[in-house]
Homo-oligomer: A and B are copies of this chain.
Amino acid sequence: MSGRAVRVGVIGCGYWGPNLVRNFSRHAGSEVVALCDSRFERATRVGAEFRVPTITDRPEELLKAPDLDLVVIATPSFSHFELAKSAIAAGKHVLVMKPLTTKTEHAEELCALAEKQGVLIAVDHTFVFSGAVRKMRQLVQSGELGDLYYFDSVRINLGLIQADVNVVWDLAPHDISILDYLVDQEPLSVSATGAAHGGSPTENIAYVTVRYPGSLIGHVHVNWLAPAKVRRTILGGSKKMLIYDDVEPSEKLKIYDKGFSVAKQPAPENEYQLLISYRSGDMHAPQLETKEALAVEADNIVKAISGKESLICDGKAGLRVVKILEAAQRSMNQGGTTISIDAVSGVR
Query: How long is the Cα–Cα vector from A246 to B238 in the complex, in angstroms?
Result: 28
Listed by A's residue number, 21 A-B pairs whose Cβ atoms lie within 8 Å are A149-B197, A150-B197, A156-B234, A158-B258, A158-B280, A163-B266, A189-B336, A193-B211, A197-B215, A197-B238, A200-B262, A205-B236, A209-B336, A219-B221, A227-B254, A280-B287, A281-B287, A282-B284, A283-B284, A284-B285, A336-B336
Q: Is the CB of B276 within 8 A of A287?
A: no
Q: Is the CB of B338 within 8 A of A163?
A: no
Q: Is the CB of A195 within 8 A of B272?
A: no
Contacts of A229 in B (CB 8 A): 249-250
Q: Is the CB of B285 within 8 A of A225?
A: no
Q: Nearest 3 A-B pairs (CB), nearest first?
A: A164-B272, A227-B256, A163-B274
Q: Is the CB of B261 within 8 A of A198?
A: yes
**B-contacting residues, A258-307, CB 8 Å:** 258-262, 266, 272-274, 276, 278, 280-287
Query: Interface residues of A, CB < 8 Å — how many?
Result: 74
Query: How long is the Cα–Cα vector from A223 to B104 in the complex, in angstroms?
Result: 33
Does A196 touch B at the CB level, under 8 Å?
yes
Contacts of A195 in B (CB 8 A): 149-150, 215-217
Contacts of A209 in B (CB 8 A): 193, 207, 336
Query: How long is the Cα–Cα vector from A189 to B274 in the complex, in angstroms?
Result: 33
Q: Is the CB of A198 within 8 A of B241?
A: no
Report if A262-B199 is in contact (Cβ < 8 Å); known contacts: A161-B276, A227-B242, A284-B282: yes
Does A56 touch B at the CB level, under 8 Å?
no
Q: Is the CB of B191 within 8 A of A336?
A: yes
Query: How long is the Cα–Cα vector from A262 to B197 in the complex, in angstroms?
Result: 10
Query: How long is the Cα–Cα vector from A94 to B287 in the complex, in angstroms?
Result: 44
Q: Is the CB of A284 within 8 A of B284?
A: yes
Does A247 touch B at the CB level, under 8 Å?
yes
Q: Is the CB of A243 within 8 A of B272?
A: no
**B-contacting residues, A196-252, CB 8 Å:** 196-201, 205, 207, 209, 211, 215-217, 219, 221, 223, 225-229, 234, 236, 238, 241-243, 247, 249-251
**B-contacting residues, A125-179, CB 8 Å:** 149-150, 152, 156, 158-159, 161-164
Contacts of A281 in B (CB 8 A): 287
Query: How long is the Cα–Cα vector from A227 to B205 in the complex, in angstroms?
Result: 26
Does A335 touch B at the CB level, under 8 Å?
yes
A158 to chain B, nearest CB (A): 5
Q: Is the CB of A217 within 8 A of B191?
A: no
Does A337 touch B at the CB level, under 8 Å?
yes
Does A118 touch B at the CB level, under 8 Å?
no
Q: Is the CB of B221 within 8 A of A226?
A: no
Query: How long is the Cα–Cα vector from A123 to B276 in the complex, in angstroms?
Result: 29
Does A346 touch B at the CB level, under 8 Å?
no
